[in-house]
Chain A
Amino acid sequence: MHISKLQLVNYRNFARATVKFEKGVNTIIGENGSGKTNLFRAIRLLLDDNLLRMAHRLDERDFHRGIGEWRGHWIIISLEFTDVSQDETIQSLFLHGAGNITAATVDRATYNLIFRPKAVIRQKLGELAAGDHAGLAALRSEMNLADYETIFTGKSSADFCNPKIYRSLVGDFDAVIFPNELTSPDIGGIVPGMFSIAREIGFTFVQALRDVVAEFQNNRTNPLLTLLKGKSGEIDPTAFAPISALVSNLNNAIEGLDDVRAIRTDIRDTITDAAGETYSPKSLSIRSDLSDEADRLFQSLKLFVGESEASYEGGIHELSLGGANLIYLTLKLLEFKYQKVKQTFANFLVVEEPEAHIHTHIQKTLFDRLKYDDTQIIYSTHSTHISEVSNVENINILGRDGGVCEVFQPAAGLDPGQIGNIQRYLDAVRSNLLFAKSVLLVEGDAEEILVPILIKHVFGLSLDELGISLINIRSTGFENVGVLFHDLRIRKNCAIITDLDLAFIDLAPDPLDSDAKIKAKKRALGSQTSGAARSIRLNSFCHGNAWLTAHFAHHTFEVDFILAGNSAAVVSVLNDVYTDAGTIAQAKADLESGDIARYGARVLTMAKQVGKGWFAIILGKAITPDVHLPNYLLSALFSAHRPISVETLASILEHRLKVQLESGLVSLPQIDAMSDHVGRFRRGEIDFDAVRAEMLKAFPGDRINTVLATL
């Protein structure tokens, strides 16, 4: 049995979210604040027997803020389990409470926590006439948390995340239509206290704690004590009896020490001397107070570990942080193993950010090895290193858009072949795209190196600041990864940047052509043909998908770079490519010829001479804020990054003003005047059109004007 689905409705930062799980290891990835902890908290409310009963009493802060007025709404946390069987005795008690019966069999189980107004309130809501907004408002104004109840149900059939179904169960607050039935069979049957589902399964939660040492020192949280109790349930009193006797003897022996007895006599004498017999205590003794109770004595058990040298074992506080974390996680896993022995037919290990505990390379090994039977592991991470080991089918991505968290299943609706391709492409670096807010896919090293530099110089912003991940596919197999971005899957923008590979030389055969020329023409024709085919392929791939766009260089990146007006930049690095003065002169002439056949061939020769990647690095040093950004890059950038916030636009303008200032060609008052406009734009006093016009008026020569004109 395993958890197949978690649904959250109105819970904390989830308005409505469906998280899907598979058998085995599952990953939840997402940036900080995207709701990973809340999601785990939801699972724990249903399955963690260690959570205090009080935790089930939710309060108004647990309501999703996006619903506005929470009064009257429900919070629903729903788990679905599959792989169940009514023929397995060990599952019967669980299925008795949670199993959904369809026809003559039990095919799944559901277990839900519902926080809702009590029956009296629901009845009052049901009695409201349709559209009686005043009545509803009056009812809600009197409602408070004491009018709410937490119930657990099993066997539910409702898809709680469907807004229509939510309205039919809870009510339509806009139209003021509430159900007359107080009990809907769709929410399932109430699971009475005697069948706490949590007790039927094994559940271990490993928190992303930051202070392991403190955890070890706290008697309540010390995993060592939990283990001792978990191993055999409770400590066997008969086995402990001789130890109790020893402690009792020890206490007597200490009390019997000559020195101790002498001190007692001395104290008594001194009191009598000082206060006199009348006012002195009637009796006084010194007692050794070592506890002979197992619980108290076990608190003296401490773990000692030799970390670097076998000869010295130190306490937990002496370990390195990583070492202490490793021990902690190990003990937690052992706790989990003990639980498994106790006849649970399903075990769940939930680990919050294992990277908080241990080094990434240990993590990889750990999750490869953590393959217990009947065990489902769910962990959250923001480490790309771990997401790389997990199967993309078993990944849920949490994304945040404003205050609302969304959940994406990156492999939803894909066939096994497509999933296999994604899996092959997602190495440690490319896994970044799972975390990104938006993505640029490029085909080679040149783009990977130069695109960030170009953007930094022109806009003064790094790709990180723009929330863009640039992923080098190192081929033109964009579809393999691009398929992830889709309404069904990751709902984030992805722009593909590639080459059309249009030939820039005359391809018409000439009888005078040398063999080399014939070969070059043939090659160029081949590239051109495949480029055209690629453009058709990619355009149709992106067609009808709002999340995906494709952007083409006419020829190749280097050629289009010069085509955009950047020949001077290339010329400036000639000395880094050639040493021979004649060649340098020839190359300069080619690059400045304005003839695409000449400068195109030249720039490619140069790239080839030092290698495309190295050439890009060399070229990167020659990039200035005045560089001309090729249009296809510009359109790719703003397809991925959209909408562009006022904040971003203002930052760009401020960057350009700085560039202007540094050029030394403009006066300070000019800059200040424009700065004021930017400030007003930032405060919303003038709109983008206005600030754009001011910029053009103030600095007509600035490169940014052509960019702004396209926005």
Chain B
Amino acid sequence: MFVWNAEDLNADQVKAIEQPGSVFLTACPGSGKTRTLTYKIARELSLLTSDKQRVVAITYTHRAADEIQERIEQLGVDTTQLWIGTIHSFCLEWILRPYAIYHPELKHGFRVINAHDTERAHELLCSQHGGGLRIFDCGHYLTSAGYVISCPDWKRAKVEAVLQQYWAELRANRQIDFEMILDYAYQLVRDIPSIGILLGSIFATVLVDEYQDTKEIQYAILGAILKASNCKAKAFIVGDPNQAIYGSLGGYAITPAEFSTLSGASFTEMDLSVNYRSSDRIVTYFENYNQLTSKISAGGKHKTFVSAISYDYATHRTALVDEVVRLIRYNVETMGIVPGEVCIVGPQWLPLAGMTRQLMAALPDYSFSGPGMVPFARDIDNFWYKLSRIILTEASPQLYIRRSRWAGEVIAALDLADINTAAITRKSLLRASNAISSAETDGLKYLLECFDALSAALGIDRASSPMLVEHYDAFVEGSQRRLDRLVADGATAIAEVAMFRKVFNEKTGITVSTIHGVKGAEFEAVIAFGLLEGMVPHFNEGDKIAAANKLLYVICSRAKKNLHLISEAGRRRGQNNVYQPTDILLACSFGYDQIS
């Protein structure tokens, strides 16, 4: 039985962890959601009575899965009976691969294409179909009943034609994209009841993190499995409806009652409403955007911190960088906050890479990590990307567990690629990688050189596996495109090995991120810009007020100490207009601080 130190968890967290049966847990920002989930998984693992059962945890990102798994291992709990990963990996590993032979379109094998491939296919089709269609018009998601297209109505017919052709082409090539993974998984679970029955009895507990960003088809898949288990499999659903910011991709917070109908489980509804992250003042501020009835209170060590919260809608777009620089200096140099605890947030529609580079130029003594600064193709499912993680990190005790897991993933990928891995172990792989050295300073050349050396050391013939060749070409081409763009934008140093290595380093500098990218993260100081109606919320959103509330809620609740909001003036909208500040932000009355 897994036990923990009394100070590890608070009473509400313990209650949620020890609650028998299925639980629906609403966890406010900073309430220790991940910690609760981690301990819950550890406890469920220790409660297993048979080695034939599994605990399954669905996370929103691979990174979250890695982090939780590492934390559980650090708690000293054996994770051999844990499966943790994204819903897409779940569908692939537990449904598509084992049961593909029962689906007429998958039975002769299939290949998963990544987001990059999808984008390129859309791009090509859009240009073929004409009519001014752009990639982002092709945004769509699948549901148990069909598909939803997010573009404006007048483009709908054209987008539908593009998508139909896209799907037909994939089918002809036996390829499936991420959305189709979900669709096929749903069809299999729906049409072949045995799958649900078997999975439902293998899984002792199914945990879902960030449920508010889960799609209807994902609920349908998990619901069907839980239902088939006849309540034998428990569910533990965690998230925060206030932070549901993926509505445009189909994500929404299901109600406990709806999910109960879908899954047959009866839920105990619980919540975690103490925020351990932020000061009282920050909590009071972001409560303005709380759309639920529950009240959140601060309870952490920063509770009494006298936060500076500012809102600026006067600064002109041209002075934005200077203003952000001023705020960074204020927080770091005046308030003594370390740069790693400062985050710059903007909506994903704005060129954040440009912002990062301008900041780098203005603050040469600071270091930054931001989007668009990763110099190679970051496709988590690409074999060579997986290998890069090992090549670009150094052997160190802190990284051992992580690198060992990465090595495991590389070996698993080799198996999938038809390479005989009988003679390769995690250790031998890491040892071979650590033994490689090169004086090459160009990052991509360095990587490719290491790929060859490591392949030779492990006796892998890349040419013998079509999958490895395909991934290799995609990796090289994708990386080259990225590098060319970055260098063209002026980031010449980016091509160096040091910059490549930085991608996997623990963060030390100031983070520049999209709003969606900071989900789950926390910083002492948060500086947000681009808070403009049409971006926050995006003009495509249906319920604009709700969407704006959620985005502001997410932004504001990241801050532990200081929060700075900017709706810069003068950003051009169309030919003759400029963007205006986000309505609800402007409407919010609060005693903002002046930063001088």
Q: Which A residues form the contact surface with B (CB < 8 A)?
A: 53-54, 56-57, 86-87, 89-90, 92-97, 99, 101, 104-106, 118-120, 149, 154-155, 181-185, 188-190, 192-193, 200, 343
Closest to A345 in B: B52
Q: Is B420 an interface residue (CB 8 A)?
A: yes
Query: Is the Cβ of A192 less than 8 Å from the Cβ of B198?
Result: no
Query: Could you tell me which residues of chain B, from 49 to 100, have a CB within 8 Å of some CB in chain A?
Result: 50-54, 93, 97-100
New A-B pairs, 20, CB < 8 Å, besides A119-B466, A181-B108: A54-B422, A89-B53, A92-B202, A93-B202, A94-B52, A96-B198, A96-B199, A101-B99, A101-B192, A105-B194, A106-B194, A119-B465, A120-B465, A154-B98, A155-B101, A182-B109, A192-B97, A343-B50, A343-B51, A343-B52
Q: Is B102 an interface residue (CB 8 A)?
A: yes
Query: Could you tell me which residues of chain B, from 438 to 492, have a CB within 8 Å of some CB in chain A?
Result: 464-466
User: What separation, in Å, do the CA atoms of A188 and B192 have in the docked complex?
Assistant: 16
Query: Could you tell me which residues of chain B, from 412 to 438, have a CB within 8 Å of some CB in chain A?
Result: 412, 415, 418, 420, 422
Cross-interface CB contact of A93 among B52, B101, B109, B192, cutoff 8 Å: B52
Query: Which residues of A are found within 8 Å of B52, using beta-carbon distances?
Result: 89-90, 92-94, 200, 343
Query: Is the Cβ of B420 less than 8 Å from the Cβ of A189?
Result: no
User: What separation, in Å, do the CA atoms of A183 and B193 have in the docked complex?
Assistant: 25
Query: Which residues of B are found within 8 Å of A92, using beta-carbon distances?
Result: 52, 197-199, 201-202
Listed by A's residue number, 13 A-B pairs whose Cβ atoms lie within 8 Å are: A86-B198, A89-B232, A92-B202, A93-B52, A93-B53, A104-B192, A120-B466, A155-B101, A183-B109, A188-B101, A189-B99, A192-B93, A193-B415
Query: Which residues of B are found within 8 Å of A183, using beta-carbon distances?
Result: 107-109
User: What separation, in Å, do the CA atoms of A96 and B192 have in the docked complex?
Assistant: 13
Q: Which B residues form the contact surface with A (CB < 8 A)?
A: 50-54, 93, 97-102, 107-109, 192-195, 197-199, 201-202, 232, 412, 415, 418, 420, 422, 464-466
Cross-interface CB contact of B102 among A101, A184, A192, cutoff 8 Å: A101
User: What separation, in Å, do the CA atoms of A101 and B108 have in the docked complex?
Assistant: 17
Query: Is the Cβ of B97 less than 8 Å from the Cβ of A95?
Result: no
Q: Which 9 A-B pairs have the closest CB atoms?
A: A183-B109, A185-B107, A185-B101, A92-B201, A89-B201, A101-B194, A93-B52, A92-B202, A92-B198
Query: Which residues of B are found within 8 Å of A56, using beta-carbon distances?
Result: 422
User: What separation, in Å, do the CA atoms of A192 and B464 have in the docked complex?
Assistant: 21
Query: Is the Cβ of B101 less than 8 Å from the Cβ of A96?
Result: no
Closest to A88 in B: B201
User: What separation, in Å, do the CA atoms of A523 and B305 have in the docked complex?
Assistant: 123
Query: Is the Cβ of B101 less than 8 Å from the Cβ of A189?
Result: yes
Query: Is the Cβ of B466 less than 8 Å from the Cβ of A149?
Result: no
Query: Is the Cβ of B194 less than 8 Å from the Cβ of A104?
Result: yes
Query: Is the Cβ of B109 less than 8 Å from the Cβ of A90?
Result: no
Closest to A343 in B: B50
Closest to A53 in B: B422
In whole Å, how far is B226's beta carbon from the nearest beta carbon of chain A?
A: 15
Query: Which residues of B are found within 8 Å of A105, using beta-carbon distances?
Result: 194
Cross-interface CB contact of B100 among A94, A99, A189, cutoff 8 Å: A189
In whole Å, how far is B208's beta carbon from the nearest beta carbon of chain A?
A: 21
User: What separation, in Å, do the CA atoms of A93 and B232 have in the docked complex?
Assistant: 15
Cross-interface CB contact of B97 among A89, A104, A118, A190, cutoff 8 Å: A190
Query: Is the Cβ of A99 less than 8 Å from the Cβ of B198?
Result: yes
Query: Is the Cβ of A189 less than 8 Å from the Cβ of B197?
Result: no
User: What separation, in Å, do the CA atoms of A26 and B197 have in the docked complex?
Assistant: 32
Give the dominant DSSP class at A's interface. Answer: mixed
Query: Which residues of A are found within 8 Å of B422, using beta-carbon distances?
Result: 53-54, 56-57
User: What separation, in Å, do the CA atoms of A49 and B163 have in the docked complex?
Assistant: 48
Query: Which residues of A are found within 8 Å of B197, using beta-carbon distances?
Result: 86-87, 92
Query: Which residues of A are found within 8 Å of B464, using beta-carbon distances?
Result: 118, 120
Cross-interface CB contact of A104 among B108, B193, B415, cutoff 8 Å: B193
User: What separation, in Å, do the CA atoms of A154 and B202 have in the docked complex?
Assistant: 17
Query: Which residues of A are found within 8 Å of B99, using beta-carbon distances?
Result: 101, 189
Closest to B459 in A: A146
User: What separation, in Å, do the CA atoms of A190 and B99 have in the docked complex?
Assistant: 10
Query: Which residues of B are found within 8 Å of A193, using beta-carbon distances?
Result: 412, 415
Query: Which residues of A are found within 8 Å of B101, using beta-carbon distances?
Result: 155, 185, 188-189
Query: Is the Cβ of B418 less than 8 Å from the Cβ of A189?
Result: no
User: What separation, in Å, do the CA atoms of A89 and B51 have in the docked complex?
Assistant: 11
User: What separation, in Å, do the CA atoms of A182 and B108 have in the docked complex?
Assistant: 8
Query: Which residues of B are found within 8 Å of A95, using beta-carbon distances?
Result: 198
In whole Å, how far is B459's beta carbon from the nearest beta carbon of chain A?
A: 10
User: What separation, in Å, do the CA atoms of A99 and B99 have in the docked complex?
Assistant: 10
In whole Å, how far is B189's beta carbon from the nearest beta carbon of chain A?
A: 12
User: What separation, in Å, do the CA atoms of A284 and B192 have in the docked complex?
Assistant: 75
Query: Is the Cβ of A185 less than 8 Å from the Cβ of B202?
Result: no
User: What separation, in Å, do the CA atoms of A245 and B412 have in the docked complex?
Assistant: 43
Query: Which residues of B are found within 8 Å of A343, using beta-carbon distances?
Result: 50-52
Tell me whether A189 and B198 are in contact in the complex, defined as CB-CB below 8 angstroms, given that A200-B52, A343-B52 are known contacts: no
Cross-interface CB contact of A149 among B102, B108, B193, B418, cutoff 8 Å: B418
Query: Is the Cβ of B194 less than 8 Å from the Cβ of A189?
Result: no
Query: Is the Cβ of B193 less than 8 Å from the Cβ of A96?
Result: no
Closest to B421 in A: A193
In whole Å, how far is B413's beta carbon from the nearest beta carbon of chain A?
A: 12
User: What separation, in Å, do the CA atoms of A53 and B424 have in the docked complex?
Assistant: 12
Query: Which residues of B are found within 8 Å of A182, using beta-carbon distances?
Result: 108-109
In whole Å, how far is A105's beta carbon from the nearest beta carbon of chain B?
A: 6
Query: Which residues of B are found within 8 Å of A104, using beta-carbon distances?
Result: 192-194
Query: Which residues of A are found within 8 Å of B199, using beta-carbon distances?
Result: 92, 96
Query: Is the Cβ of B50 less than 8 Å from the Cβ of A90?
Result: yes
Query: Which residues of A are found within 8 Å of B232, using beta-carbon distances?
Result: 89
Query: Is the Cβ of B97 less than 8 Å from the Cβ of A189?
Result: yes
Cross-interface CB contact of A185 among B51, B93, B108, cutoff 8 Å: B108
Query: Is the Cβ of B51 less than 8 Å from the Cβ of A96?
Result: no
User: What separation, in Å, do the CA atoms of A90 and B422 have in the docked complex?
Assistant: 30
User: What separation, in Å, do the CA atoms of A218 and B54 have in the docked complex?
Assistant: 38
User: What separation, in Å, do the CA atoms of A104 and B100 have in the docked complex?
Assistant: 16
Query: Which residues of A are found within 8 Å of B53, using beta-carbon distances?
Result: 89, 93
User: What separation, in Å, do the CA atoms of A118 and B463 have in the docked complex?
Assistant: 13
User: What separation, in Å, do the CA atoms of A655 and B232 have in the docked complex?
Assistant: 80
In whole Å, how far is A62's beta carbon from the nearest beta carbon of chain B?
A: 16
Query: Which residues of B are found within 8 Å of A119, using beta-carbon distances?
Result: 418, 465-466
Query: Which residues of B are found within 8 Å of A200, using beta-carbon distances?
Result: 52
User: What separation, in Å, do the CA atoms of A56 and B466 have in the docked complex?
Assistant: 24
Query: Which residues of B are found within 8 Å of A120, using beta-carbon distances?
Result: 418, 464-466
In whole Å, how far is A179's beta carbon from the nearest beta carbon of chain B?
A: 10
Closest to B110 in A: A183
Closest to A93 in B: B52
Query: Which residues of B are found within 8 Å of A87, using beta-carbon distances?
Result: 197
User: What separation, in Å, do the CA atoms of A119 and B109 have in the docked complex?
Assistant: 12
User: What separation, in Å, do the CA atoms of A31 and B93 have in the docked complex?
Assistant: 46
Query: Which residues of A are found within 8 Å of B418, using beta-carbon distances?
Result: 118-120, 149
Query: Which residues of A are found within 8 Å of B93, using beta-carbon distances?
Result: 192
In whole Å, how far is B420's beta carbon from the nearest beta carbon of chain A?
A: 6
Closest to B174 in A: A183
Closest to B54 in A: A93
User: What separation, in Å, do the CA atoms of A459 and B75 have in the docked complex?
Assistant: 83
Query: Which residues of A are found within 8 Å of B420, using beta-carbon distances?
Result: 57, 149
